Amino acid sequence: MDATLPILILAIPLGMFLVLGLAGCKMSHKLAGTLGCLGMGTTLVLAYYTAFTYFFSGSPEFVDAAGNRLQALIFNQTWLAFTDNLVIRLGFLLDPISAMMLVVITTISFMVHLYSMGYMRDHHGVYEHGFQRFYAFLSLFSFSMLGLVVATNIFQMYIFWELVGASSYLLIGFYYVKPSAVSASKKAFIVTRFADLGFLIGILILSYYTGTFNFTELTSAPVEGLAGVFQISESTAAGVKSVFESSATPVFMGASVLTWALVLIFMGGMGKSAMLPLHIWLPDAMEGPTPVSALIHAATMVVAGVYLVARLFPLYLMEVSALEFVTWVGALTALYAAIVACTQIDIKRVLAFSTISQIAFMMVSLGVARPEMHEGLGYMASMFHLFTHAMFKALLFLGAGALIHAIGSNDYTEMHGLRKYMPITHWTFLIGCLAIAGIIPFSGFFSKDEILSSCLGNSTVIYVWMSLVAGLTAFYMFRLYYLIFWWKEHKVHEGHHAPHDQPWTMSLPLIILAAISLVAGFIPFGKFVTWNGKSYDFMAHFDWSVAAVSLFVAVVAIAIATVMYRKENPLPEKMRAAMPGLWKWAHHRFYWDELYMFITHRIIFDGICRPIAWFDRHIIDGTMDAFATITNKASRAIKPLQSGQVQLYVWWYLLGALALGGITMLCLL
Amino acid sequence: MEIKAIMLLVPALIMFCCGVYGFITRRNMIAILISLELMLNAVDINFAVFNRYLWPDAMEGMFFTLFAIAIAAAETALAIAIIINLYRSAKNIDVRDLNKLKY
Amino acid sequence: MKQEIGLLVVFLLVFLYDTFMPQRAGKALPVVSTVLLLLATAAGFCSHCLGTATSTEAFAGMYATSPVVCAIKSILNIGAVIVLLQSISWSGSDHMAVRRGEFYELLLVTLFGMYLMISARHFLLFVIGLECASLPLAAMVAFDKRHYESHEAAVKYILTAVFSSAVFMMGISFVYGLAGSLYFGNIYAALSAGTHSLMLTLAVAFVIAGMGFKLSLVPFHLWTADVYQGAPTSVTSYLSVISKGAAAFSFLVILAQVFGSLYSDVWEWMLYALIILTITVGNLFAIRQTNMKRFLAFSSISQAGYIMLGIEAFNTMGLTAMMYYILVYIFSNLAAFGVIGAIERASGKVDMTDYRGLSKTNPRLAFSMMLAMFSLAGIPPFAGFFSKFFIFTGAINQGSVAIYVLVLIALINTIISLYYYLLVVKAMYISADEPVVGTFRSSISERLGLWITVGGVMLLGIASCVYTWIFDLGEISPLAAYFV
Amino acid sequence: MFSNILIWFVVIPLLMLAGLALCRDIKQIRAVAVAGSIALVGLSVKLLVDYLAIRAAGNTDPMLFTGSWTWFAPLHINLAIGVDGISVAMILLSAIIVFAGSFASWTIPQPKAFFLWLILLSTGVFGFFISIDLFTMFMFYEVALIPMYLLIGVWGSGRKEYSAMKLTLMLMGGSAFLMLGLIGIYYHSAPAGQSLTWNILEIVRNNSISHGWQCFLFPMTFVGFGVLGAMFPFHTWSPDGHASAPTAVSMLHAGVLMKLGGYGCFRVAIYLMPHAANELAWIFLVLTGISVVYGAFSACVQTDLKYINAYSSVSHCGLVLFAILMLNTTAMTGAIMQMLSHGLMTALFFALIGMIYGRTHTRDIRAMGGLMKIMPYLSVCYVIAGMASLGLPGLSGFVAEMTIFVGSFQHADVFHRTFTIVACCSIVITAVYILRVVGKLLFGPVQDKHHLELTDATWWERLSTVTLILCVAAIGCFPNFFSNLIRFTFSPDIFAVLGMN
């Protein structure tokens, strides 16, 4: 495939960022917004075209004779050569997951661009301060995210990984006058930075032993006769493992070095994807404008961790313990986030915890995937869920954004009963809720069902666990739904307009995303995205009993939610009173933030930084000053020598001469 | 009784030490000058004795003594002049009061 | 020999001029003597250029000269000319009217004494030179009759000087007793043949003490600060550079020619200890000083320690580095004294606190002072850096581990010295207080003197020909035959 | 002599000095400063182009543009010059920072004296980078140090007298050890019987410093240069010095002068004494490893902008020395890249801090806030500088740090691994203190109502910062160009002695 279009996919958002960033303040708001949308629209078209070509052209560089999908290096340019082998290249790797991600990112990003045209202005149509900057950052983010998914080597991924982190930082802190936004952005950056430290060390370990950064050399084998075309290969991954095993120290602290590397790399993923215990930044990140939450903190950036594991999946397969680590981190996070989501009152936070929980689903799915079981169904399910989740979660967030824009608050206690006022928002939000709850035929049903199927294939414990979480998901989403749109009639405050649906720029994305959420479940994902490129019909692995159970669980959960929240009633209060401890802990998110606060402030700041700063000023610098002080003291101490008395002068003179002679005499003796 | 070199050298040394002692203990500058004279003369004795007893071939030591005496005289004259000057200015020749310049 | 004769001629001319010219013409005496000495200096250099500066002997070998010695005397001459130049304004003042001539005569006599010290190859001549060089100085220190300090300084100087020469001569008498001769060469031969008795050690210690007094090495230095402070500024500058330079050379002569064979056994370690003491104690005292003259006294004490490094090395490189060091030191120190003298004459202030804000009122003087300080501290591209670097290089050429340690100690001391030199710079440039000394215009002679010294400070290092010239001179005579 | 392009790097500043001495008013002074610094930038670009052309033509000499003129013949001191990729990079860096610094001190009081000292300082810096003779190198090194005293003392702020004195004395203390080390090297520079030399290339060729002497001289020179490179525990001059220095001086000092330390450590200590470096590296690795995290931790709790940046410099420069001591091509390349990167971004930082300080008259981050609203241009630049400092890809910090980490990780033993990982931790701590400052200073509500009346950057300030930002971005976006420029130097024969790659 010609490299021009793929380069443009990256270049247009970058160019938009530069143009809007440098010249934005000289432009009118409208022009800036239009430019941003146009740019993203073009990127969208190009990305769709590229993905379409990849999946459907049947070109030999994309699919082989047996129907296996291949990895194609569209281009790969040296960027920084550390050594002859360790070279960072910037390139474009087209394979099933990156093509799929291109579609997801550009779609959501375009929707958000469009949506923000409406969202980022007030009811009088006045654009927000920094509107141009907002579009510049959005473009920067899109560029970074696209660069991340098409990375040809792990270091390129790391580079863009950092860039998405930075653009996320900038966007969370968009309202920089608000202290909470500033601290949220700081928190997000630092927590993910900490995770990236693990990622970096993992990369260093991996690259040291394997001598390469390239995914194609780590996980796939070249296809003969075609330059730059590769096929996922277990034997390459096995070769990598044997490199580790034949090294001088294959085991470090009880685990193989490869496991360490993979777990450390996964740590990066945990940070970006907000897995326990590095999840604390994501709820706070909701301080950013809602479209940003939809794009970055629901649909794209936060799934980068999942994408990372998927990218290195063949390597993870070599170390089952690493995969199990992934599974359990995911499972714990899923449950934790679901419980917390049940108790939050800020709608964006509920959605944020829901996101954490759903990403954890994807992680679990990857963790339980085994090639020998349903042909690695979990991998496909994970990617499928990533896709559908992106759509319906973006939908939910944008819906929430519409609500917030209309009400001017994040708090659902100020909403209630909005269904009559905002019908479009209501219906699309409902579709999103049904999708995430896993009701047939909405997209979430299919993807979640496959995840549960693959869990069952791996371990019953995980299956039961995740089913429970799925039930909780349905419960808290419908709790949210009812509390926003039902519960009691909406009171319109005097002097305020009644809330109403938003302009087309905001409604259109909702409708489009709702439509996708409705039908996306029917995409035969197994045909497109599988762990090794061999396509299969996932219906062959579809387990109706699992589907029935999960549907049952979801329906029951929705029913409970309906009973509790459809109409104003004391039941929720009773529930809360029934388990005060659990409620309190869940409401305070199990005090993770307080724990981190304690670690950072009490231990790191007060326990390390301050003592070090004190030590530096008083001990180290004090020592240096002490040299000066000692010299001065010595100077003062020998002052009496120069007493002004000639007789003493002579006395010293004589003493000196005699000592000189005497000591030399003694030495000579 | 034969007079040995050591019998002259020891008194010279004692003289020198007396001079030093005088220099360090006396307060009157004139007394100090006298002490200095003692020291210089001790040196002269040394030279003379060494020449006479150890190296009688040449007269270097004797000549040195002569010159040393002359130099000592010059020194004393100069010192006296300076002391007189000081006396005019300070009305005092106590060496321990010379302590304006110190530290 | 020519230089001595030339100097004597200058002395006589000055003397005759002073005696027979009328009172009015006495005003011109400073200029006349400066010019005459300048001519003598030029003649000395001419003899170098013409190659007539050869090795000769006189007085039955009691006196010897060689190209190196001539060069040393020329270096001293240059310093003396600058001192005279800088003293023109001071000695031109009215209160000096009756004693003007004496100052120049005494000064020329001391210079003659120094020549003798350097050229002497017999202790008798050496002692005569020594006394010739130090006794008139006492009179010069006492020159400022109006000030009590001048008298106190003179008394202190004469008493300690006589004491010191007594001890020194005591040492010589021991040497005589052991070696049987006062000729350097004979003593050398006798000492290298025999064993090292304890008396010899004491003799060496006494001789070193006597010379250490002239050089103000610690602990024989205690007179220095008081005398420098009390003496008239011109005398102080003369004492601190010319007298010290001459003493350093003659010290080297004695150590090499007389006690050369005792180097590693006896005096290497004595000197080692003295250098450490001198540099350190000098620095420690200098830190606290506020009187500029006293401050420079302690600075010059520690500089003497650095000069001694060249002797401690005891090789050709050390000798040349030392000569070069002294030359640079003359220029740097005289630049500093030139500024001090000018300011003292104009305002009567000699305290460091009075130098505050000098850069605002008298920027050129402040600049000259700063360059002098930088040069003394060894900051490139000024000459002091080169001389310091070379003296360390020369010292390390000796090669033992001990010398590395010594140089390290000396280097660490340069930090302390930098501190107090910077204090002066700080007072002049950084202090925010109101300037104490008002703007004034210094006399032509002072300015000329500063131009010369500052020019020297800037160029002596960068223009490598100076060092190369000195080095080539040093190359002529191998170590064992210095100055013969 | 003047046909050699390198000589002009000293001649131009000297001409500038002469020109400045003749100037009468501030306009002339500015003209001289700007013309001179543009000439220097132009010259260094030409040098870069020529250098690359010669290398491209296949010349593999360790140094190009070499020349040697006898100076002190008896001591074998020559004015020997020559450059390799590292020096070229450093010269380029210096020229750019001098350029930016000139604009940053556009309105300095007493401009004539200020620029005189500043240019004298840069004379020393350029002289140092072009020298390959140890004596001239050392001389220029000291020439560069001493103007700092007056620049800080006269034009500084706060406890300027104390800081200036401390800085000067500590740096001179380092150079005391250095001088001993250099003289020691000189006396072992050639096998017995051959004439000694100060020329680095000849010393390497002679390879006659015995192992024992190396072990003595290596620490001397390394510590000597290390003091200027802000090596723990000799870094304490840096916070005070930077805090008191005027803007352009901080820029030059952190941007260029501290690089002299790292450059010297490599060029003298390691290049000439590889065996000792190999044997004793661990001691200094521990020290520099400490200083990397130590500086970063200290920066976290400072409230004075300049202190934060000074400690950050301790951390970053620690990384430079750390990488140099890893003794392999990749890490050393990273070290030089880090020098470039740190030089540019710290200069940028100090420029911005100076500009902010010039407006708000405080550097206490607690007393400021919300500057983004008041002076958006400066604030955006500050964010960019911060991002460069915390290693955002696309800016210079990232490539340098990554090169260092990858290079350091090539050592497989536990000791090196541990310290590499410790050094890696600095990326997190750096993020903490950078974001803390950015959050407090630029974001949030405006703290002081008086600040609302302040103006944004003037054109000369913009020019100064834009230059630096462009350079930071250039390194960040096209690292391979710089990496190749530098890396060539390491490939031929330095590590041949050690059998390393």
Q: Shortest CB distance from A643 goes to which of B25, B95, B102? A: B102
B58–C contact, CB cutoff 8 A: yes
CB D423 within 8 A of CB D376: no
The pLDDT, as a whole number, for residue C127 is 95
A666–C contact, CB cutoff 8 A: no
**Contact at CB, D398 and A159, closer than 8 angstroms:** yes
User: In terms of C-beta density within 10 A (0-12 exposed, 13-18 middle, 19 or more buried), how is residue D324 classed?
Assistant: buried
Mean pLDDT of A610-624: 90
- Extended beta strands in A216-281, E state: 220-222, 229-232, 251-252, 255-256
Q: Which DSSP category does C231 fall into?
A: S
A647–B contact, CB cutoff 8 A: yes
* Cis status of the peptide bond prior to C381, with omega within 30 of 0: yes
Q: Flag whether B96 is in a domain.
A: no
C-alpha span between B8 and A160 (Å, rounded)? 100
Distances (CA, A) of C422 to A630, C379, C425, D224: 19, 11, 5, 21
Q: Which DSSP category does D497 fall into?
A: T
The pLDDT, as a whole number, for residue C483 is 43
What are the helix and strand counts (H, E) for chain B?
A: 3, 0
Q: Flag whether B81 is in a domain.
A: yes
Share of residues in chain D with pLDDT > 70 (%): 98
Residues of chain B whose C-beta is under 8 A from some C-beta in A?
20, 23-25, 95-96, 98-103
- Residue C317 scores a pLDDT above 50: yes
Q: What is the DSSP string of C377-429?
A: HT-TTSHHHHHHHHHHHHHHTT--HHHHHHHHHHHHHHHHHHHHHHHHHIIII
Q: Shortest CB distance from A645 goes to which of B20, B25, B99? A: B99
**Contact at CB, C219 and A653, closer than 8 angstroms:** yes
Please tell me the distance in Å from C181's CA to the nearest CA on chain B.
7
Q: Shortest CB distance from A79 goes to which of D239, D442, D480? A: D480
Interior/surface letters C14-50, b for 16+ CB within 10 angstroms, e for the rest:
bbebbeeeeeeebeebbebbbebbbebbebbbebbee
Which of D374, D376, D363, D353 lies closest to D454 in space, CA to CA? D374
Q: Flag whether B53 is in a domain.
A: yes
pLDDT per residue over D463-472, tens digit each? 999 999 999 9
Which residues, other chains included, contact C16 with Cβ-Cβ below 8 Å and sequence gap of 6+? none
Which residues, other chains included, contact D49 with Cβ-Cβ below 8 Å and sequence gap of 6+? none
The pLDDT, as a whole number, for residue C100 is 84
Mean pLDDT of A141-161: 92
- Residue A636 scores a pLDDT above 50: yes
C-alpha span between C77 and C41 (Å, rounded)? 6
**ipTM beyond cut 0.95:** no
Q: Which helix (H) or strand (E) holds A111?
A: helix A96-119
CB D295 within 8 A of CB D251: no
**Contact at CB, D393 and A162, closer than 8 angstroms:** yes
**CA quadruple D350, D356, D361, D363: dihedral sign:** negative
Query: From B19, which residue of chain A is nearest by alpha-carbon distance?
Result: A650
Q: Which helix (H) or strand (E) holds D422?
A: helix D414-437
pLDDT per residue over D353-389, tens digit each? 999 998 888 888 888 888 888 898 999 999 999 999 9
CB C153 within 8 A of CB C230: yes
Q: Flag whether B11 is in a domain.
A: yes
C-alpha span between C228 and C341 (Å, rounded)? 13
The pLDDT, as a whole number, for residue C248 is 93
pLDDT band of residue C223 (cuts 50, 70, 90) is very high
Which of D109, D110, D90 lies closest to D98 in space, CA to CA? D90
A646–B contact, CB cutoff 8 A: yes
Spell out which residues of chain B touch residue A642, defining contact as CB-CB under 8 Å.
102-103
Phi, psi of D131 (to 5 degrees): -75, 145
Which of A605, A620, A362 lies closest to A469 in space, CA to CA? A362
C-alpha span between A573 and D437 (Å, rounded)? 44
CB C316 within 8 A of CB C475: yes
pLDDT band of residue A373 (cuts 50, 70, 90) is confident
C-alpha span between C262 and C254 (Å, rounded)? 12
Which of A286, A266, A323 lies closest to A458 in space, CA to CA? A323
Q: How many CA atoms, within 13 angstroms, populate the side-chain half-sphere of residue D456?
A: 15
- Residue D58 scores a pLDDT above 80: yes
Which of A152, A150, A157, A161 lies closest to A51 in space, CA to CA? A150
Lowest-confidence pick of A330-334, C446-450, D232-236: D232-236
Q: Which residues share a beta bridge with D67?
A: D81
The set of chains that have 3 or more CB pairs under 8 A with A is B, C, D
The pLDDT, as a whole number, for residue C480 is 44
**Contact at CB, B25 and A647, closer than 8 angstroms:** yes
- Extended beta strands in A149-299, E state: 220-222, 229-232, 251-252, 255-256
First CA to last CA across chain B, in angstroms?
A: 55
Q: Tokens standing for D389?
A: 């400092």
D122–C contact, CB cutoff 8 A: no
CB B101 within 8 A of CB C156: yes
**Contact at CB, D329 and A613, closer than 8 angstroms:** no
Spell out which residues of chain B touch residue A645, defining contact as CB-CB under 8 Å.
95-96, 98-99, 102
CB D136 within 8 A of CB D116: no
C-alpha span between D422 and D415 (Å, rounded)? 11
Angle of helix C316-347 relative to helix C67-91, nearest 10 degrees, comes to 10
Q: What mean pLDDT value characterizes chain C?
A: 89
C228–A contact, CB cutoff 8 A: no
Which residues, other chains included, contact D29 with Cβ-Cβ below 8 Å and sequence gap of 6+? D20, D23, D111, D112, D115
D470–A contact, CB cutoff 8 A: no
Q: Flag whether B47 is in a domain.
A: yes
When divided into structural domains, chain C yields a total of: 1
Q: Tokens standing for C474?
A: 């040093």
Q: Flag whether B98 is in a domain.
A: no
Q: Give me the residue label for tokens 């009157």.
A: B28
D422–A contact, CB cutoff 8 A: no
Q: Tokens standing for A641?
A: 């020598």
The pLDDT, as a whole number, for residue D447 is 82
What is chain C's alpha carbon radius of gyration, rounded to the nearest angstrom? 21
Residue of D183, D186, D196, D221 to mutate, testing the C interface (most C Cβ within 10 Å of its Cβ): D183
Spell out which residues of chain A touch residue D443, defining contact as CB-CB under 8 Å.
173, 176-177, 179, 182
pLDDT per residue over C256-273, tens digit each? 888 888 888 888 889 999
C176–B contact, CB cutoff 8 A: yes
C-alpha span between A655 and C167 (Å, rounded)? 12
The set of chains that have 3 or more CB pairs under 8 A with C is A, B, D
Q: What is the dihedral of CA A360, A361, A363, A366, to 10 degrees?
A: 170
**Contact at CB, A644 and B102, closer than 8 angstroms:** yes
Q: Tokens standing for C423?
A: 């204090």
Q: Which DSSP category does D79 fall into?
A: E
C-alpha span between D501 and D494 (Å, rounded)? 9
Spell out which residues of chain D touch residue A608, defining contact as CB-CB under 8 Å.
297
First CA to last CA across chain A, in angstroms?
A: 95
Q: Which helix (H) or strand (E) holds D64?
A: strand D64-72
Q: Which helix (H) or strand (E) holds A81?
A: strand A71-81
Q: Flag whether B31 is in a domain.
A: yes
CB A468 within 8 A of CB A339: no
Q: Tokens standing for A288?
A: 């950013």
Q: What mean pLDDT value characterizes chain A?
A: 87
CB A190 within 8 A of CB D432: yes
Show the domain range for C206: 2-482
**Contact at CB, B23 and A645, closer than 8 angstroms:** no
CB D171 within 8 A of CB D227: yes
Query: From C416, which residue of chain D is nearest by alpha-carbon distance?
Result: D169
Q: Shortest CB distance from D183 goes to which of C396, C418, C468? A: C396
User: In terms of C-beta density within 10 A (0-12 exposed, 13-18 middle, 19 or more buried), how is residue C380 classed?
Assistant: buried
Interface of A with D in 74-93 (CB under 8 A): 78-83, 86, 88
pLDDT per residue over C391-440, tens digit each? 999 999 888 889 999 999 999 999 999 999 999 999 999 887 788 888 88
User: In terms of C-beta density within 10 A (0-12 exposed, 13-18 middle, 19 or more buried), how is residue A428 classed?
Assistant: buried
Please tell me the distance in Å from B85's CA to the nearest CA on chain C.
7
pLDDT per residue over A168-215, tens digit each? 999 998 888 888 899 899 999 999 999 999 999 999 999 988 888 888
Query: From A646, which residue of chain B is nearest by alpha-carbon distance?
Result: B95
Q: Which DSSP category does A299 fall into?
A: I
Q: What single-letter amino acid sits at C243?
A: S
Return the CATH number at B61.
Answer: 1.10.287.3510
pLDDT band of residue A347 (cuts 50, 70, 90) is confident
A609–D contact, CB cutoff 8 A: yes
C287–A contact, CB cutoff 8 A: yes
- Residue A620 scores a pLDDT above 60: yes
Q: Tokens standing for A9?
A: 């996919």
CB A589 within 8 A of CB A342: no
User: Where do the structural domains in chain D lie, given as residue ranges?
Assistant: 5-498
- Residue C190 scores a pLDDT above 70: yes
